[in-house]
Amino acid sequence: MAAPVPILEQLCVTTAIIGLLAIGGKTIDSLYEMNTSPGRDTAILNKALQEVKQCRSSVHILYKNFSLLEAGQLPYPDRATWISTDDLIATLTDTVLAITDLQEAIEPIELCQGLAARITACNEHSQRLTSLSTRIRWHNLTMNMMMTILKCPGEQDAQNSRLGLERRMTRLLSSNSDIALRMR
């Protein structure tokens, strides 16, 4: 069985998860309220809503898996050592930042009165919204790799997820100097 994670690190992970669930819920509510009549012209809002919902769900499931690990109830507890605490914290931190950035990006759209103004605002902000949705999706897939490592009965699938996770973390830390500095 893997050594228990020190309390300080648990607090960082727990804080990030709670923050993700909170900001994710707020963002979902905002996107849903803005897009009460979804259509082709506001598809970017639908995409953002879908990505945040999926990400929030993955965060919740990941939290449950780590709780099961802590309770000694996962079938492959030794695999937890394949996921470094720093990688988990970096992923969760950048996910919080991405969802926070998305929340900020939709604020001007929220202020629009009427569907025509909202459509225009969606078009004006589509590149940023698309980029943030993609970033959130990327982190969602990273968390899914972590869950595959922890729970997948197939050793080869778990190993593939381990390698994929290592590549993703290298990419995240080399492309995001703020996160890399926080991790030092």
Question: What's the pLDDT score for residue 47?
Answer: 92
Over residues 28-62, the pLDDT tens digits come to 888 888 765 666 667 889 899 999 999 999 999 99
Q: What is the pTM of this model?
A: 0.85
Domain boundaries, the chain: 7-183
Helix (H, G, I), strand (E, B) or coil at 3: coil
The Cα–Cα gap between 96 and 135 comes to: 11
Over residues 59-94, the pLDDT tens digits come to 999 999 988 988 999 999 999 999 998 899 889 989
The Cα–Cα gap between 112 and 120 comes to: 9
Residues for the chain: how many in total? 184
CATH tag for 7-183 (out of 1.10.238, 1.20.1410, 3.30.420, 1.10.10): 1.20.1410
In the chain, the amino acid numbered 71 is A
Taking only Cα atoms into account, the Rg of the chain, rounded to an integer number of angstroms, comes to 18
Q: What pLDDT band is residue 95 in, cutting at 50, 70 and 90?
A: very high
Average confidence score pLDDT of the chain: 86
State the chain's maximal CA–CA distance in angstroms.
Answer: 58
Question: What's the pLDDT score for residue 165?
Answer: 97
Over residues 125-158, the pLDDT tens digits come to 999 999 999 999 999 999 999 999 999 999 999 9
The one-character DSSP state at 71 is T
